[in-house]
Amino acid sequence: MALDVAKGMNYLHTSNPMIVHRDLKTPNLLVDRNWVVKVCDFGMSQMKHHTFLSSKSTAGTVSYLQT
């Protein structure tokens, strides 16, 4: 399962422009009938035309950000 998530995130991060999910957590993962995990819920995602990500832009679920 972790490998499927890593493949999905790699796809997003190597696309042009890069897509940053910004809210990756277990409720945002789906499992299809072949037990392949898919990343979902791109409501907070952003397209990045540069590889620099500003630390000023915070997003995500609060309980996950507080740890």
- The CATH number of residue 53's host domain is 1.10.510.10
- The answer to whether 4 is a known catalytic residue is no
Q: pLDDT per residue over 11-28, tens digit each?
A: 888 888 888 888 888 898
CA 17 from centroid of its chain's CA atoms? 14
- Total domains, the chain: 1
Residue 60 has φ and ψ, to the nearest 5°, of 115, 180
Average pLDDT estimate for 34-57: 74
The pLDDT of residue 55 is 52
Q: Is the pTM of this model over 0.85?
A: no
* Domain of 57, in residue numbers: 2-65
52 pLDDT band, cuts 50/70/90, is: low
Q: Which residue of the set 4, 23, 32, 41 is catalytic?
A: 23
